[in-house]
Amino acid sequence: MNETADLSRSLAFVFERIEREAARSGVPLSDEERFLLNNLPREPVVPVMNGTDPDSPPLMPAPRDVAYERLIALVRDARRNDLRVNPSSDVEWKIAFVISKITRHPMSWVLAWAGMKERTPWWDRAGLVAGALLFTGGILALVIFAEAGGGTPLRWIAAGAAYIVMLLFLWRASRRIEVWQLRRSLEKYHGAAGSGNNEAGC
């Protein structure tokens, strides 16, 4: 599986659908919007929320990016129209979403804000609980280790270093699991797209 080729095909697919939807709406893409589409920002362009409550107001009023918002709206409308005319086209949209997430391309944010989601496996929540228990147990073990020797500075430094290593390990492990899940989904969608093309050719 060539992820670079997959990404190029998927971006071409999404770009073509955006161009077509813009033309259908009667307002073709402007030069600014076309430039933005080809140079999507690498940082999220949504306001930062207070805490974890999505209903809380932003910390600072973020200036609106009208061109970016229009691209998101065009993606949402293009996908809806595709699904209405040809429901099997959803596979191509899913491939575009998954491959952009695997490669960390900013198109994944546009597709997510346009309403696309990737289903998590049934065991994902159990894995999250197991990871939290492992993390909590690790912290308790490090505190016990540091306190057992009388709480010397050297033991606390060793416990702090082990804590940082544990955080990095859990972060890398979670990222690897996420990419593994996304690659499995990508294989499944490629299989569905292949069988759909075979049926269309019969």
Domain map of the chain by residue range? Answer: 3-118, 119-202
Stronger pLDDT, 60 or 186, i.e. the higher one? 186
E strand or H helix at 186:
helix 153-201
User: Can you count the helices (H) and strands (E) in the chain?
Assistant: 7, 0
Which pLDDT score is estimated for 120? 65
Are 158 and 146 spatial neighbours (Cβ–Cβ below 8 Å)?
A: yes
Are 118 and 97 spatial neighbours (Cβ–Cβ below 8 Å)?
A: yes
Which pLDDT score is estimated for 1? 58
E strand or H helix at 67:
helix 66-85
For 31, other C-beta atoms within 10 Å of its C-beta total 7
Which pLDDT score is estimated for 64? 62
Question: Cβ-count burial of 119 within 10 angstroms (0-12 exposed, 13-18 middle, 19+ buried)?
Answer: exposed
Mean predicted lDDT score pLDDT of the chain: 78
**CA gap 180, 102 in Å, rounded:** 9
Cα within 13 Å of Cα(200), Cβ side: 9
For 47, other C-beta atoms within 10 Å of its C-beta total 13
Which pLDDT score is estimated for 21? 94
Which pLDDT score is estimated for 92? 92
Least confident of 76-85, 104-113, 175-184: 175-184
Q: How confident is the model at residue 74 (pLDDT cuts 50, 70, 90)?
A: very high
